[in-house]
A and B are shown apart, each in its own frame.
Chain A
Amino acid sequence: MTAENDIGIRAAEEFLGPSALADRIRAGPNHEHYVRIEEPEFESAVEHLAANKFVLISLFCCEGFTENAAQTLFYVFERRSSILVLVRGVNGSATSIAGIYPAASWFERECCDGFGVEFAGAFDTRRLFLHETYPEGFHPLKKAFKNAPVLTKDAIDPADEYPFREVSGEGVYQVPVGPVHAGIIEPGHFRFSVIGETIFNLEIRMFYKHRGIEKLAEGKSPQECVRIAEAVSGDESVANTTAFCMAVEKLSQIPVPARAWYLRTILLELERICSHLGDQAGMLVDVAYPLGANQFSVLREECFRENDRLTGSRFLRGMVCPGGLNRDIPKVSVDELAEFARQLRKRYRIGLKIVLSTASVIDRLATTGVIRPALLRPLNITGPAARASGGKVDVRQNHPYGIYDQFAPKPQRLRDGDVLSRFTIKASEIMDSLDLIERLVAAIPEGDVRSDAPIRDGYTLAMVESARGQNLCWVWIKDGVIERYKVRTASFCTWLAIEHAVQGNIVPDFPVINKSLNLSYAGTDL
Chain B
Amino acid sequence: MNLDFFLYLVINTIVVITVSPLFVSLIKKVKAWTQGRQGPSIFQTYFTLVKLLKKEVIYSPNSSRIMRVTPLVTMASILVAALFVPLVFVPETVGGIGNIILFLYLLALARFFMALAGLDAGSSFGGMGSSREMSISSIIEPTTIIVFAALAFVFKTLNIFDMFAISVSTGSPSPSTLILIAISLFIIIVVETSRIPVDNPETHLELTMIHEGMILEQSGRNLALMELSAAVKMTVLMALLINLIVPFGLISALTLAGILIAVFLFVVKGSILAGIIGLFESSMAKKRFFQLPSLFAMAFFFSTLIIIIEVFS
Evaluate whether A288 and B200 lie within 8 angstroms (CB atoms) in the complex, with A363-B288, A506-B289, A508-B289 already known: yes
Assembled-state Cα–Cα distance A511/B203 (Å): 11
Q: In chain A between 7 and 63, which residues have their CB closer than 8 angstroms to a CB of chain B?
A: none
Interface string of A148-181 (1 = CB under 8 A from B): 0000000000000000000000000011110000
Contact with B along A448-470 (1 / 0, CB 8 A): 00000000000000000000000
Find the A residue at minimum CB distance from B198: A288
In the assembled complex, which residues on chain A have CB atoms less than 8 Å from the CB atom of B207? Answer: 175, 177, 507-508, 510-511
CB neighbors of A among B237-284 (8 A): 282-284
Q: Cβ of A290 and Cβ of B31 under 8 Å apart?
A: yes
A287 and B206 in contact (CB under 8 A), knowing A176-B124, A294-B37? no
A320 CA to B132 CA, complexed, in Å: 51
A167 CB to nearest B CB, Å: 15
- Contact, CB under 8 Å: B204 / A290: no
Which residues on the A side are within 8 Å of B288 (C-beta)? 363-364, 506, 508-509
Residues of B within 8 A of A359 (CB): 284
Q: Which residues of A lie under 8 Å from residue B205 when comparing CB positions?
A: 182-183, 286, 511
Q: In the bound complex, what is the Cα–Cα distance between A202 and B74 (angstroms)? A: 36
Q: Of A291, A364, A506, A510, which one neighbours B34 at CB under 8 angstroms? A: A291
Say whether B128 contacts A507, CB under 8 Å: yes
Q: A304 interface residue, CB < 8 Å from B? A: no
Q: Which of the listed residues A176, A177, A293 has the most CB atoms from chain B within 10 Å of its own CB?
A: A177
The yes or no answer to B285 lying at the interface (CB within 8 A) is yes
Given A175-B128, A291-B282, A298 contacting B36 (CB threshold 8 A): yes
Q: Does A333 contact B (CB under 8 A)?
A: no
At the interface, yes or no: B55 with Cβ under 8 Å from chain A?
A: no
Q: Say if the beta carbon of A284 comes within 8 Å of chain B.
A: yes
Binary flags per residue of A486-526, CB closer than 8 Å to B gives 1, else 0: 00000000000000000000111111000000000000000
User: How far is it, in angstroms, between the C-alpha of A290 and the C-alpha of B205 when the chains are bound?
Assistant: 14
A177 to chain B: which residues have CB within 8 Å?
124, 206-207
Is B156 part of the contact surface with A, judged by Cβ < 8 Å? no
The answer for the CA separation of A358 and B197 in the assembled complex, in Å, is: 13
Residues of chain B with a CB closer than 8 A to A507's CB? 128, 207
What's the Cα separation between A298 and B128 when bound, in Å?
33
Residue of B nearest to A363 (CB): B288
Q: How far is the CB of B138 from chain A (nearest CB, A)?
A: 14
B196 at the interface (CB under 8 A from A): yes
* Interface residue? A289 (CB, 8 A): yes
Q: Please encode chain B, from 36 to 76, with 1 for each CB lying within 8 Å of some chain A CB and 0 for all others.
A: 11000000000000000000000000000000000000000
What separation, in Å, do the CA atoms of A182 and B286 have in the docked complex?
Answer: 19
In Å, the complex CA distance between A510 and B125 comes to 14
Answer yes or no: A361 CB below 8 A from chain B CBs.
Answer: yes
Give the size category of B's interface with A.
Answer: 20 to 34
* Contact partner, A288, options B36, B37, B132, B203, Cβ 8 Å: B203
Task: Find A183's partner among B35, B36, B204, B208 (CB 8 Å cutoff).
Answer: B204
A174 — nearest CB in chain B belongs to which residue?
Answer: B124
Tell me, in angstroms, the Cα distance from A115 to B103 when the chains sit together. 68
Which chain B residue lies CB-closest to A510?
B207
Q: Chain A residues with Cβ under 8 A from B6's Cβ? A: none
Interface residues of B in 124-159 (CB under 8 A from A): 124, 128, 132
- Say yes or no for A93: interface residue by CB 8 A criterion: no
Q: Are A289 and B284 in contact (CB-based, < 8 A)?
A: yes
| Cross-chain contact B35 with A360 (CB below 8 angstroms) | no
Cβ-closest chain B residue relative to A507: B207
Measured CA separation A507–B206 after assembly (Å): 10
Chain A residues within 8 Å of B282, by CB? 290-291
Q: Are A294 and B204 in contact (CB under 8 A)?
A: no
What's the nearest-Cβ distance from chain B to residue A312, in Å?
A: 28
Asked if B196 contacts A288 (CB within 8 A), the reply is: yes
Partner of A361, one of B35, B200, B285, B291: B285
CA distance A182 to B213 in the complex (A): 12
Closest to A284 in B: B285
In the complex, the answer to whether B124 meets A364 with C-beta atoms within 8 Å is: no
Residue A197 at the chain B interface, CB threshold 8 Å: yes
Does residue B312 face the partner (Cβ distance < 8 Å to A)?
no
Bound together, the chains give a CA A284 to CA B204 distance in angstroms of: 14
In chain B between 165 and 215, which residues have their CB closer than 8 angstroms to a CB of chain A? Answer: 196-197, 200, 202-208
Closest to A177 in B: B207
Q: Contacts A175-B128, A291-B34 given; indicate if A182 touches B206 (C-beta within 8 A).
A: yes
Q: List, in ascending order, chain A residues with CB within 8 A of B197's CB.
A: 288, 360
A97-124 contact mask (Cβ, 8 Å, vs B): 1 or 0 = 0000000000000000000000000000
Q: B208 to chain A: which residues have CB within 8 Å?
A: 286, 288, 508, 511
Chain B residues lying within 8 Å of A363, measured Cβ to Cβ, are: 285, 287-288, 291
Is A291 touching B35 in the complex (CB atoms < 8 A)? yes
Of A197, A284, A294, A361, which contacts B289 at CB under 8 A?
A197
List A265-298 residues whose CB lies under 8 Å from chain B.
Answer: 284, 286-291, 293-294, 298
CA distance A361 to B286 in the complex (A): 8
Residue of A nearest to B201 (CB): A288
- Residue from the list A174, A291, A364 in contact with B286, Cβ < 8 A: A364
CA distance A294 to B282 in the complex (A): 11
Q: Find out whether the CB atom of A294 lies under 8 angstroms from the CB atom of B200.
A: no
The answer on a CB contact under 8 Å between B204 and A182 is yes
Which among A176, A290, A363 has the greatest number of chain B C-beta atoms within 10 A?
Answer: A290
Neighbouring B residues of A358 by C-beta, 8 Å: 283-285
| Binary B-proximity of A186-225 (CB < 8 A = 1, otherwise 0) | 0000000000010000000000000000000000000000
B125 to chain A, nearest CB (A): 8
Chain A residues with CB under 8 A of B34: 291
Contacts of B36 in A (CB 8 A): 294, 298
Q: Which residues of chain B come closer than 8 Å to A284, judged between CB atoms?
A: 285
**In the complex, how many angstroms separate the beta carbon of A186 from the nearest chain B beta carbon?**
15
CB contact list, A355-370 vs B, under 8 A: 358-361, 363-364
Q: What's the nearest-Cβ distance from chain B to residue A370, in Å? A: 15
CA A396 – CA B207 in complex, angstroms? 37
Minimal beta-carbon separation of A295 from chain B (angstroms): 8
Query: CA of A284 to CA of B203 in the docked complex: distance in angstroms?
Result: 12
Q: Given known contacts A175-B128, A176-B124, A291-B35, is B285 in contact with A364 (CB within 8 Å)?
A: yes
A298 to B35, CA, bound (A): 10
Q: Report the minimal beta-carbon distance from A253 to chain B, rounded to whole angstroms.
A: 51
Q: Measured between C-beta atoms, what is the minimum distance from A333 to chain B in Å? A: 27
B206: chain A residues at CB < 8 Å are: 177, 182
**Complex alpha-carbon distance, A197 and B289, angstroms:** 9
Beyond A182-B206, A511-B205, is A294–B35 a contact (Cβ under 8 Å)?
Answer: yes
B137 to chain A, nearest CB (A): 16
Across the interface, name the chain A residue whose C-beta is closest to B132: A197
Task: Beyond the given A358-B283, A508-B288, A508-B289, please list 5 additional residue pairs across the A-B interface where CB-CB is below 8 A.
Answer: A175-B207, A183-B204, A294-B37, A363-B291, A511-B205
The list of the 4 closest CB pairs from A to B, nearest first, reads A288-B286, A289-B285, A288-B200, A182-B204
What are 26 sample pairs from A and B whose C-beta atoms fall under 8 A apart?
A175-B128, A176-B124, A177-B124, A182-B205, A197-B132, A197-B290, A286-B208, A287-B286, A288-B200, A288-B208, A288-B286, A289-B286, A290-B202, A291-B34, A291-B283, A294-B36, A294-B37, A298-B36, A358-B285, A360-B197, A360-B286, A364-B288, A506-B290, A507-B128, A508-B207, A508-B208
What is the interface of chain B, defined by CB distance below 8 A to chain A? 31, 34-37, 124, 128, 132, 196-197, 200, 202-208, 282-291
